[in-house]
Structure 1
């Protein structure tokens, strides 16, 4: 029972809360003023959906809905996610069109040098309890969208509002927009976390966050009870979309977050297909709500994407968990729940297979800490910034690569770089004669790694684990024998992108470029692919 209550509690942390009153004003104000012949755009983000699972399921003839969308649309298997490959950072990149050096959401957990505290949006029950219920809830419900997400960078919801277009978010974690909403905190959370009863937020025209922020309450009976994770589930989200379709209330752009698959794969590993089959059934039901799958693609642009991949984590007997405090035993490492003090030397912010490691003492340089960590053969690489340069040290070998923005080398995204020393550390192929470089195992690694290293203030390392392993602090959630993500290799970085209802193609296959693509779809009078 305690595990169930903690799970429900964590869901509340992540998704926020609202009054269980009808939010009919949301459903009224999403009616579009645009040309009725303009296609709506529905983007469904399935957490940890991977192309290899789609291909395997289609080959076995078990995914008819995904097969229909692929057969009648565009299918890409190598959309590059953001880094670290954690939902809040990825969603921020998708909705702002920027990497974390600009949008300022560094990960699911990170250290704020300005407030001198760990920011944790809800990594796991033990860590949440260790850090304290009040600060975790405050950061997740108030600061994530209110101040951590860079206020000077517009989200797609804010851009669409300026153009007179309507938008909606169903269960999205990042939702800042131009319309006023109230999050209302249930009494059992208020007393525990000392939070106000109501929190004013800005969101899109329609803001739905599970049953605790349910604009469909009293209008549509959606699966939102305690046994349905308070509405933070696929069935709730899909049924909400179906209601909008049936009542002809789809906004111009609708973002839909589907979390169920991620939970299954963390436990069973990325090869499990049961979650993908269930997702396919839900997508099929949504398509048929238009009248038929064919009509769905005539009426709307349907986009299905994953947010990150997942690496299989070795079973417990093969030592898969890299205990960072143990590796740094000679230093005073901040424990969960402790206040930062003059004695604190090292702070850890672990994002599964990636971690930020902060050094607070001038006599303990980042290169010194890196030299200790690289001796563990399970570490992939350690990176840190030094003036305009980024240093990357390979685990075990201690080979060093240096790079900086600007220079004579251009990558496939028209980004220019200077790369020195051992380019093989990040599996980069440099063609000096052509003034070009190509990525292999680490997609768009120079920009993504630089983005993480410049995402917030402070002196810190970025540490990644080799495939099969994950990093941990004292109370970090671990996934022995299951799956993990956070890191920057292909397996965790490349996700599928399926587009139906338009022939228009994205300029680049990166999560960070999808906002511009979506805006181009939404500002056209007509779409191809009908």
Structure 2
């Protein structure tokens, strides 16, 4: 019996507004015409990359896998110096990687979030050197050493640090090589060019068309690699966008309000906090020192007052009953949702509201509620047993893991999501 193969391409920030242009490009057009698709993938909250990718591989929401943010809480540390949820051990639910490994399947992952030290046969995790660390040594330490060395020797010259389009070109070259020479049954890779471009230049413009064309060529190279490897006829492709992005004009620094009220302060030049907003782009968490009910009440009063002041762009203050319905990690009592055009930042020394357009800057981000208008992303499933040309309608990020498990006959266990069996004959 022929082996089954599944290739999952996380097409970061591939959202509904990109669908019309992308579906006219040759490789995506072919996959769409021969596959099952939807532009209605509902994300999780907050809609951050690492939170979503944890939900992909576990089939669970953040209240079960507990990756609640890209970054663990690190107050007063600059974002560029912060650790991220790089390691599989940060997840508290079983993953498709572990299930596949236990069943003896060959697995591969390239730049996949939350995959450091994972039991993956061929693994180059998404992990970044911070605070003077050596990038190469950090990847080697937390991925597959020999595989990583081999890929670096062959294709390292393509990369220019983490700059695009070079990083995704490197990932694609490694993917092609791995498919042809290793033939993993489960292969998951993360391509970031579109997300980076939206963050830096906004969600509209010729730069988006340029990225979509580059992405289509990369997808084509990966498909062609399966043909050269002789695995094409046994391969199911899943191409999925994790979140949308929204254009931002105002960055809001709510910790400045807490600093002005003495809830964030300095002792001998060292910053201290009683309450602290951990920004998540279009959302934010409120952290409160354990047992400090007075600070909690004061912070909530400040935030409620700010919500009625248009300049702060607070759309909602979400309390625990609402967070339960959104499957948010139970350790948090309060989250904040930004209005479209606004996002949250951490710094407590900045002015409370900064108009970045007045500074001549452009920016877009994500993190917002899944219910924001037209905030959904795309999914394409194509392969030998997929029903051609069907619209899958509304699906969820948590359905991806169970669907992969169904394709490869793996027991992922109890999940919040379901296998999209209607996509298959």
For normalisation by structure 1, the TM-score amounts to 0.63
Q: 2:365 is matched with which residue: 484, 491, 502? A: 484
Q: Specify the alignment match of 1:348 in structure 2.
A: 277
**1:45-85: CA deviations, max 9, x gaps?**
11111122121344xx4x11111110110111011112211
**1:113-148: CA deviations, max 9, x gaps?**
xxxx5497xxxxx533xxxx4xx3xx44xx641543
The 3 A distance-change label for structure 1 pair 89 and 245 is same
Q: 1:452 is matched with which residue: 328, 344, 347? A: 328
Q: Specify the alignment match of 2:19 in structure 1.
A: 54
Deviation at 1:200? 8.9
1:273 corresponds to 2:209: yes
Q: Specify the alignment match of 1:239 in structure 2.
A: 173
Deviation at 1:255? 0.3
Q: Specify the alignment match of 1:472 in structure 2.
A: 345
Higher relative contact order (CA closer than 8 Å, sequence separation 6+): 2
Q: Is the 1:49–1:276 Cα contact (8 Å) retained in structure 2?
A: no
**1:261-291: CA deviations, max 9, x gaps?**
1111112212232211211122122223344
Distance 1:519 1:48 in 2: 24
1:95 corresponds to 2:35: no
After TM superposition, what 4+ stretches of structure 1 lie above 6 angstroms from structure 2? 180-184, 194-203, 205-208, 475-479, 504-508, 527-530
1:517 corresponds to 2:410: no
Distance 2:243 2:328 in 1: 16
**1:217-246: CA deviations, max 9, x gaps?**
44x435444366499721112112211233
1:288 corresponds to 2:217: no
Q: Specify the alignment match of 1:252 in structure 2.
A: 185
RMSD: 3.9
Matches within 5 A, 1:419-458: 446=325, 448=326, 451-454=327-330, 457=331
Q: Specify the alignment match of 1:178 in structure 2.
A: 119
Deviation at 1:191? 8.6
The 3 A distance-change label for structure 1 pair 47 and 491 is farther
**Higher Cα Rg: structure 1 or 2?**
1
**1:461-489: CA deviations, max 9, x gaps?**
21111111111222899795331111113
The 3 A distance-change label for structure 1 pair 265 and 296 is farther
Matches within 5 A, 1:36-115: 37-58=2-23, 61=24, 63-111=25-73
Q: Specify the alignment match of 1:145 in structure 2.
A: 87
**1:359-408: CA deviations, max 9, x gaps?**
333213264244233223221111122xxx348xxxxxxxxxxxx6xxxx
Q: Specify the alignment match of 1:499 in structure 2.
A: 381
Distance 2:279 2:329 in 1: 15
Deviation at 1:296? 7.2
SS state of the match for residue 469, structure 1? strand
Q: Is the 1:302–1:499 Cα contact (8 Å) retained in structure 2?
A: yes
The 3 A distance-change label for structure 1 pair 106 and 372 is same
Q: Is the 1:168–1:206 Cα contact (8 Å) retained in structure 2?
A: no
Q: Is the 2:50–2:69 Cα contact (8 Å) retained in structure 1?
A: yes
**1:507-529: CA deviations, max 9, x gaps?**
971111211111010018xx997
Q: Specify the alignment match of 2:253 in structure 1.
A: 323
Q: Specify the alignment match of 1:423 in structure 2.
A: none
Distance 1:85 1:268 in 2: 20
Deviation at 1:38? 2.5
Deviation at 1:305? 0.8
Q: Is the 1:109–1:119 Cα contact (8 Å) retained in structure 2?
A: no
Specify which structure has the higher proportion of helix: 2
How many residue pairs were aligned?
385
SS state of the match for residue 108, structure 1? coil
Distance 1:200 1:109 in 2: 21
Deviation at 1:41? 0.4
Deviation at 1:325? 2.8
Q: Specify the alignment match of 2:243 in structure 1.
A: 308
Q: Is the 2:176–2:225 Cα contact (8 Å) retained in structure 1?
A: yes
Q: 2:103 is matched with which residue: 154, 163, 173? A: 163
Q: Is the 1:323–1:473 Cα contact (8 Å) retained in structure 2?
A: yes
Q: Which runs of 5+ in 1 are unaligned?
A: 1-34, 112-116, 121-125, 315-319, 392-403, 405-445
The 3 A distance-change label for structure 1 pair 507 and 39 is farther
SS state of the match for residue 54, structure 1? helix
1:221 corresponds to 2:155: yes
